[in-house]
Amino acid sequence: MSGFDVEKARTLLGVPQGFDVEIVIALGRKGDGAHLAPALLQREQPSPRASVDEFAARGLFPKRFEAAR
């Protein structure tokens, strides 16, 4: 990805004034794991990191982000 149109992203996502679109990240989905080599499958463990749902959203700008402000 080589960049994005900030104003277009703001409009398409419904980002309200007072918030800025700083970055766009392409994310994948967790796969089945059945196709992984045994060494890689052994490394698959739950992450202690924050859930993606805590800091990202799909679709329009979520009201819960405004409430947390």
Instruction: Give the whole-angstrom CA distance, residue 7 versus residue 51.
Output: 27
Q: Which helix (H) or strand (E) holds 6?
A: helix 6-13
User: If DSSP codes are grouped into helix, strand and coil, which group holds residue 43?
Assistant: helix
Residue span of the structural domain in which 12 resides: 6-67
- At 27, which amino acid appears? L
pTM of the model: 0.52
* pLDDT of 59: 81
Rounded (10°) CA dihedral 17, 22, 26, 27? -80
In a domain, 50, yes or no: yes
Does 25 fall in a domain?
yes
Q: Output the CA–CA distances (angstroms, integers) from residue 52 to 1, 5, 35, 39, in the order listed.
A: 20, 23, 24, 26
Q: Is residue 1 part of a domain?
A: no
Give 5-42 pLDDT, tens digit per residue: 999 999 999 999 999 999 888 777 777 888 889 898 88
